[in-house]
Amino acid sequence: MNLLVVGASYRTTPVATLERLAVAPTDHRRLVARLLAQPYVGEAVIVSTCNRVEVYAAVSAFHGGLGDICGVLATHAGYPPADLANHLYVHYDGAAVDHVFRVAAGLDSMVVGEAQILGQLRDAYHAATETEAPGRLLHELMQQALRVGKRAHAETDIDRAGQSVVTAALDLAATHLGGLAGRPALVVGAGAMGALAVATLSRGGVGPLSVTNRSAERAVRLAETYGASPAPIDDLSATLSEVDVVVAATASTTPVLTRELVAGVLAERAHRRSGPLVLLDLAVPRDVEADVAELPGVFVIDIDRLAEDLPEGPAAADTAAVNRIVATEVEAFLTWLRGADVAPTVAALRGRADEVVTAELRRLANRRPELTDEQRGEVARTVHRVVQRLLHSPTVRVRQLAAEPGGDQYAALLRELFDLDVPQTATAQAVPDIAAGTTFFEGGAR
């Protein structure tokens, strides 16, 4: 099996396309099952956040696996595969490991260095394990990626600014409102992003702060944690008319803040408050209907706007330090992977040796029936010791050689020399060149 990453992010894909690709929690199990039902996909993890949708997979063949994954994504998004292909990036084997580790370290995030992606990766991994979608390869990849992300934050100052998509969006909102302190605010949604928004707004001194959610119980729990007030979702219009800033971060598949709703709120709000109503839409699919931004008296900040207006990222020295960590960890993972790949060949060689010894001992027993059980046992132990000693040095050495770049050739030679029937291993296949003229490209955009 080989590692394959197929994805779309804010770097390569319009928000409208990301919206259609986004995988809601209720759809996750179904989509993973469809991936695993494909002929070339053996393991799968789906990561779906506000600015990326990625499939991490173990596949038995590059082109077959790529076609399977893209077909599932295209069907899910309602796009012809050829149209969707223009927005996708592809990473294979070593490049796939590098990409996943960079994502975990926050290097590929819209806000470079943000730590929220670690929680999102962990949630994606746990959701996949509930359906037994990851096998040995993806279990190891995800566990190591989470460790690499933690190491990057522990050993460098890449997250020194403490920025996240939420804080970046609120900083933009503050520029339009002359600051957020003392401003009444509302958070729509009580998931991970909503909780981060409530915590950030609370630290920023907004007030009063309200929380609303389709599940009233979750809104109450979140509000109590940060001294906010829960607001019934049925009274959304009334609550909106009393605030200056709204953070929308739900998992709804349709807009929560429609043009009709916001237009009515603006008319009511004009009698109560001055200044613009700032709507921060951090959801994918979007919570704020697209044409709401056309209404006078409202300012919408969404993922597209964030990508355009984000400030500079961490210091170059911090980014370079994380890049060094990632490079070291990628090489360590690939070394483990090459060593893991030779293990089935070594096991098959030892199994072949045991078969030969067993057959020869059986023949000896037939030719020399006068031997006692004790004598036959002593002969068997002696022959096994001889074979194990003969195999010990070459099998240890082949493991060492296999851990080096290009080491898969040694396992292949063993299979050829001893005529071993071993299934194709994780790195035994050469990385293919992607066919000329294809709309997919290896490595993707960073």
Active site residues: 50
Q: How far is CA 218 from CA 200, 224, 243, in A?
A: 18, 10, 21
C-alpha neighbours within 13 Å on the C-beta side of residue 305: 19
Which residues, including other chains, have CB under 8 Å from residue 220's CB and lie 6 or more apart?
Answer: 230
With tokens 């969404």, the residue in question is: 302
Q: How far apart are CA 211 and CA 202, in angstroms?
A: 12
Q: Are 137 and 97 in contact (CB under 8 A)?
A: no
Where are any strands of DSSP class E within 199-334? 209-212, 229-230, 245-248, 277-281, 298-301
Q: How far apart are CA 188 and CA 257, in angstroms?
A: 10
For the chain, the maximum distance between any two Cα atoms, rounded to a whole number of angstroms, is 110
Q: How far apart are CA 337 and CA 411, in angstroms?
A: 13
Show the tokens assigned to 103.
């994502």
Runs of H (alpha helix) within 13-85: 15-21, 25-36, 62-77, 81-85
Q: Are 290 and 254 in contact (CB under 8 A)?
A: no
The percent helix, strand, coil of the chain (3-state, each to 5) is 55, 10, 35
Of 117, 131, 164, the closest CA to residue 30 belongs to: 131
Amino acid at 95: A
Q: Are 37 and 71 in contact (CB under 8 A)?
A: no
Number of Cβ within a 10 Å radius of residue 157:
14
CA–centroid distance for 58 within its chain: 14
